[in-house]
Amino acid sequence: MKFAFSTLGVPGLPVPEVVALATATGYQGVELRGHPEEPVHPGIGTAERAAVVDEFRRAGVEILTVAGYVRVAKAEEDVDEDALRAELQELLWLARDLGAPNVRVFPGGGDQDPAHADAVAARRLGAAAELAADFGVRILLETHDSHRTGVAAARVLGPVGHPQVGALWDVMHTWLGGEDPVTTHAVLSPHLGYVQVKDIASAEDRTPLALGAGVLPLGECLALLDDDSWVCWEYEKRWYPQARELPEQLAPGREHLEGLIAAYR
């Protein structure tokens, strides 16, 4: 398997330092948080994009994903459709320019009727699919918020039915949704882009922990994946400033994942 980490764990870290950290700790890729708080986001220009590509290429580290914040199931009365479409297109442009194969989106369906939220998300993702295909980028719907489980995400992805629209399996959210890993994998495997791992103490305390120090069924999840799968550690330091610093944990975290793969296979 190939391992990546999210820049959510090192908020604001300059790109050269992110790349150096990946190289030093044995990670083959990085998931870039595509938010204006970070060095890489849709607002940066052509020269800045080229410099990012050059940094990653020289180090032999891949940009796995541009992690955006578009909420594709958001209620129609609460969103400007043109603005949402433009935001998603800008993320796709950025990913194309960076050579990133994926863009991450959220559901964000809120308390709408689930069937209606499913239909809204499928319509928006379907409308963006051909542009994604033209750019060689895949849009990945994360198991999150209103569509926390694999079953819920699959209700959207099935009707879209396009290879450039897939799933990002966040193991914390499917666990919080009460879904066992076998079920999640079974329904998401036709759509699966990659898996985000993390660890927490409990459903009530989601402060990020070192991998293996919490309750999430990481080994059971990894055992279901193909040998060429990507696994990304999303350490949510940005939201939990009291959590331990990520850099010192990266190498031990990768070693823990490698140990789980060996033990569960």
What's the pLDDT tens digit per position in 15-34? 999 999 999 999 999 999 99
C-beta atoms surrounding 224 within 10 Å: 18
Give the tokens for residue 129: 């699919």
List the beta bridge partners of residue 259. none
Alpha carbon distance 262, 111 (integer Å): 41
**For residues 105 and 124, is the Cβ–Cβ distance under 8 A?**
no
Give Cβ neighbours of residue 154 (< 8 Å, ≥ 6 apart). 167, 187, 188, 191
Ordered by start, the domain boundaries in the chain are: 2-264
Which pLDDT value is given to residue 265?
76
Phi, psi of 233 (to 5 degrees): -85, 110
For the stretch 96-148, pLDDT in tens is 999 999 999 999 999 999 999 999 999 999 999 999 999 999 999 999 999 99
Question: Mean pLDDT across the stretch 31-57?
Answer: 98
What class has domain 2-264? alpha beta
Give the tokens for residue 19: 């790349």
Task: Record the pTM.
Answer: 0.98
* Mean pLDDT of the residues in the chain: 98
Can you give the length of the chain in residues? 265
